[in-house]
Structure 1
């Protein structure tokens, strides 16, 4: 919770911030996987208990570096004021839990968006000098209203292959195994402060849960892109669907409103 409390100071107008991304790359070398934490993560996200890291797990290992980067005084936006709108993972090969990894994180490509500004946080994991994993998280800083409407004529969602009940504790469970204690996921009060009637599920939990549903059917090396749509309010029932050409999606099981859309490329 402490990084988010520190970052919240940036929401106070008296604190000025630069209008450009810092030319900073944070690194952490020789990172070993805590197998107990990995097992807890696998259980929360639905992965099998194996020695291979889930494709989303290096994101968890790099998350402290990303939080440190975005919480710094020279970062243009407070971390609690940005929205995670998309994520791309490139898994170059399977990663064994016994490997030690060198991690790096940097922010790039600050750009205009119809609702504000966007930027990417690029994280990499290397083993033996070889990059084995890369993640690109796209964040939106909302600065104006308008943009593409989320309602209107929405296509009928595909027939679900599974329905999942996302329990009220999903936010706190994922925070425990991931280290992401953003209060919009763990606190009813924190969620209300940012306009949500109750806590919402982490976007990276929803991505991980979808990939867990496809476990055993994916190639050893692939890229997976997702766009995060409407948040999953806790609790909720969601419908998962996957197509043979490796697209997948999450929708609200009752209303059909979209939560996530993803694509896998070998």
Structure 2
């Protein structure tokens, strides 16, 4: 069970959390049987910074100037709380190298950009994965006591598991009908980082990305999903699930495809980067 809530007075700053998580990473020993933080973080009375929201809308392609939060924006609001949980000593997975593998978002009704909200975040649990250990982080947004938005994100720490990883994934679906070709500039990661606060070095510059094994900077997975949903559109009440299959290198050219509530982003050779579905509820 989750322990008593810890109420915050303001969003925790991300830079110190990233630094703390990086420093503690070498001492973590990931395992699906490890303990994990049971505290539920709560941030009441949150109001959206409209200037920051406007920058987010521009970089992701959402319509600007409307009194409504894009479907993915509450993830940005809740990310500092999630980072506080994942950068702590009691979180067993190392923050360095942690891979965001999927997200499921449920929005119960439209959310005014000028509203006041309460954020909560908690670790939902750990699970064995064929490539390591996966953690689930659950975020909720309440308005006047009602849950209006919720998400479940999975994060994978790769490590030896003592069992065969099995064959490589062969469940790549056939390409969806191509809708648009997107030419992604080299600075997309920096622009999204400025709007979202997620300044992971793998997204900012080729030199810092190379330190972590990438030939160039890569786009944020949540930017890619947001860009897809800006193009696809979403009803006020909906559920979205997206999986992150492979990183998008910057600069680069990708193809956005969509059909019957499904969407995807593919690169050269039909390599699948992101796949997802939108369902009305």
TM-score normalised over the length of structure 1: 0.92
Q: 1:166 to 1:147 in 2, by over 3 A?
A: farther
Tell me if structure 2 keeps the 8 A contact 1:80–1:182.
no
For structure 2, which runs of at least 5 residues remain unmatched after alignment?
Answer: 1-14
Q: 1:241 to 1:27 in 2, by over 3 A?
A: same
Residue 8 of structure 1: CA displacement?
Answer: 1.0
Distance 2:62 2:250 in 1: 21
- Give 3-state SS (helix, strand or coil) of 1:184's partner: helix
Distance 1:120 1:17 in 2: 14
Matched, 1:183 2:197: no
Q: 1:60 to 1:222 in 2, by over 3 A?
A: same
What is the total number of aligned residue pairs between the two structures?
260
For structure 1, which runs of at least 5 residues remain unmatched after alignment?
Answer: none
Task: Show the counterpart of 1:4.
Answer: 18
Distance 1:187 1:9 in 2: 21
Tell me if structure 1 keeps the 8 A contact 2:37–2:90.
yes
Tell me if structure 1 keeps the 8 A contact 2:181–2:253.
yes
Residue 6 of structure 1: CA displacement?
Answer: 1.9
Residue of structure 2 aligned with 1:197, choices 215, 224, 229: 215
- Give 3-state SS (helix, strand or coil) of 2:269's partner: coil
Distance 2:243 2:84 in 1: 24
Q: How does 1:187-226 map to 2 (within 5 A)?
A: 187-215=205-233, 218-226=234-242
Tell me if structure 1 keeps the 8 A contact 2:263–2:277.
yes
Residue 10 of structure 1: CA displacement?
Answer: 1.8
Residue of structure 1 aligned with 2:184, choices 152, 166, 174: 166
Q: 1:91 to 1:186 in 2, by over 3 A?
A: same
- Give 3-state SS (helix, strand or coil) of 1:12's partner: helix
Measured against aligned partners, the alpha-carbon deviations of 1:197-255 in whole angstroms (never above 9, x if no partner) come to: 1111000000000000023xx322000000001100111111011112x0111100x32
Residue 176 of structure 1: CA displacement?
Answer: 0.4
Distance 2:165 2:114 in 1: 48
Distance 1:77 1:129 in 2: 32
Tell me if structure 2 keeps the 8 A contact 1:10–1:77.
no
Tell me if structure 2 keeps the 8 A contact 1:17–1:75.
no
Tell me if structure 2 keeps the 8 A contact 1:92–1:132.
yes
- Give 3-state SS (helix, strand or coil) of 2:96's partner: helix
Residue of structure 2 aligned with 1:42, choices 29, 47, 57: 57
- Give 3-state SS (helix, strand or coil) of 1:11's partner: helix
For the aligned residues, what is the CA RMSD? Answer: 1.8
Distance 2:213 2:30 in 1: 24
Q: 1:113 to 1:30 in 2, by over 3 A?
A: same
Distance 1:75 1:156 in 2: 38
